[in-house]
Copies of this chain bind each other. A is one copy, B any other.
Amino acid sequence: MVVGIIGLGLIGGSMAIDLKKDSRESEILGYDRSELHLQTAVKLGIIDRAVDLEGIMEADVIVLAVPVGAAVDLLPWLLDRIDKQIVTDVGSTKASLCAQVENHPKRPQYVSAHPMAGTEFSGPWAARPGLFEGCAVIICDKEKSSMDALNAVTSLFHSLHMRPVYMNSVEHDMHAAYVSHISHISSFALALTVLEKEEDTRSIFNLASGGFSSTVRLAKSSKDMWTPIFADNAENILPVLDTYVEKMQAFRAAIAEGDIEKINGLIIEANRIKKILLK
């Protein structure tokens, strides 16, 4: 099977690295609109062959691994041109993209996917083996995809050692706002807070223990990936932001009042996350 990857950043590049090792994939074609990214991917041996957007049509399965804003234009463009090829994507928001191609005659050849893996780094330099190992891949609106397309795409994610989870695209975006998008906004806000008040960067460096580093890690993430996600999923993100600010205000009130019982209660409640996230 020939796999064609459009977008050779962290996700597309990391997929290419692991798929190249899998004997079922005969060739990995790659395209990136940045010539630098494309040549880097060739140089690092991430892909077998660089092609242009027309050349990607040689693939049996095409993976769209571009920021969500770009996918909204590229996905219909691809569906207009494919013959028997299967198309999947890896975007972090799914509802608007699924709605965009809902009535496209080639819709059954498309599988809407979101691999739940990543790091705060970007570009082909950030691509690494084993990124997806053991993670979930959310497959959205599977009833809109043909069985052949689902089988091909599930098999591709299986060879990355991912476990498929099925979800409605609208529900996906709501859940993702809570579990993924708000984490990034809270981390960006943390970085902004510290940077504004701590002009003495030496003190940040000295006082930053593992706790601060892990909480602020996502604040290193790229605007090119995250701004389109926030814009696309605003409807779900805004109420989550409001709830989050309410929780911060609950802490503020308890701390301002010196109400030990109330602070204890908030922490005990928050500790329940342990039962869900064991690692």
Contact = CB atoms under 8 A, between A and B. Distances in A.
Interface of A: 116-120, 135-136, 138, 165, 167, 171, 175-176, 178-180, 182-198, 200-201, 203-223, 226-227, 230-231, 234, 237-238, 240-245, 247-252, 255-256, 258, 260, 263-264, 266-277, 279
Given A208-B277, A231-B258, A266 B192 contact: yes
B196 A243 contact: yes
Contact of A218 (B200, B211, B240): B211
A260 B241 CA distance: 18
Q: Is the interface of A mostly helix, strand, loop or mixed?
A: helix
Contact of A183 (B188, B211, B238): B211
A186 B219 contact: no
A116 B208 contact: yes
Contacts of A243: 193, 196-197
A35 B24 CA distance: 59
B186 A215 contact: yes
Contacts of A188: 247, 251, 266-267, 270
A212 B198 CA distance: 25
A270 to B, nearest CB: 4
12 contacts: A116-B209, A118-B209, A167-B203, A175-B207, A178-B198, A179-B204, A186-B215, A191-B273, A201-B276, A223-B268, A227-B264, A227-B267
Nearest to A135: B209
A212 B92 CA distance: 14
A260 B231 CA distance: 7
A68 to B, nearest CB: 13
Contact of A272 (B191, B208, B230, B252): B191
Given A212-B180, A267-B223, A189 B251 contact: yes
A207 B277 contact: no
A234 B171 CA distance: 39
